[in-house]
Amino acid sequence: MPRTKQFDEKEVLNKAMELFWEKGFHATSMQNLVTELGINRASLYDTFGGKEELFNRAFASYRASTQEWLKSLFAKEKSVKAGFIKLFHTAIEEAHEEPRKGCFVVNTTTELVPGDDSLLHILNENKSAVENLFVSYIQKGIDEGQIQPTQDASSLGSLFYTVYSGLRVVTKVDPNPKKLKKMIDAALSLLG
């Protein structure tokens, strides 16, 4: 008779994501995972595979939820400029609430690239997906007359992705909201 799991797989995955996000891949040991997740090694290996497989699943879960959150944010904000203000200000607020936590994608990029070529493909896919969300949203603003038609949605989308990623790095070092908002205002001035 097969044994039934005595834990919620999704909850354990979320705890793993938080741990990897906080400590990074290399600094998170199997013992950290066993202790923090509250499951034994055998269950961890049976359910998730090894540390790398668990990390990959946790990282995929984070990326998917972040992209869904972005889609929802942009769908709610009809003003493209207001949508980007909300996005950037949320990053600043999160940095103020949890200094040095940053973004799991940015943290992973700075920790594991270069050195992990298999991850590079995943990070490029994530970059493309988020940039495409930005580009579509900016194009909507152009189509609706919110943004000057002379603006290039693709270039602005790439720029805003870079600004957002850079913001997530800078907030780990200097989370001064006043300075960060001035920087964001300069980038947002491109939207008119």
Which residue pairs, CB below 8 angstroms and at least 24 apart, start in 129-132?
A: 129/63, 129/67, 130/66, 130/67, 130/70, 130/161, 131/157, 131/158, 131/161, 132/157
Cβ count within 10 A of residue 60:
14
pLDDT (tens digit per residue) in 52-61: 999 999 999 9
pLDDT at 33: 93
CA dihedral 103, 104, 107, 110 (to 10 degrees): -110
Q: How far are the Cα atoms of 23, 44, 81, 149 from residue 126, in angstroms, in the given order?
A: 21, 27, 23, 28
pTM of the model: 0.88
In the chain, the N- to C-terminal Cα span, in Å, equals: 66
pLDDT (tens digit per residue) in 9-21: 889 899 999 999 9
pLDDT (tens digit per residue) in 167-178: 999 988 888 889
pLDDT band at 4 (very low <50, low <70, confident <90, very high): low
Give me the percent of the chain exceeding a pLDDT of 70.
97
pLDDT at 21: 93
Cβ contacts of 134 within 8 Å, gap of 6 or more: 156, 157, 158, 160, 161
Residue type, 64: A
Lowest mean pLDDT among 67-76, 116-125, 150-159, 180-189: 116-125
The per-residue pLDDT of the chain, averaged, comes to 91
| Mean pLDDT calculated for residue range 33-45 | 90
| Mean pLDDT calculated for residue range 153-167 | 96
pLDDT (tens digit per residue) in 101-124: 889 999 999 888 887 788 889 999
For residues 66 and 3, the model is more confident at 66
Cis status of the peptide bond prior to 114, with omega within 30 of 0: yes
Contact 70, 137 (CB under 8 A): no
Could you say which DSSP state residue 151 is in? Answer: S
Block residue for tokens 């896919």: 125
Q: Which domains does the chain have, with CATH numbers?
A: 1-61 (1.10.10.60), 77-191 (1.10.357.10)
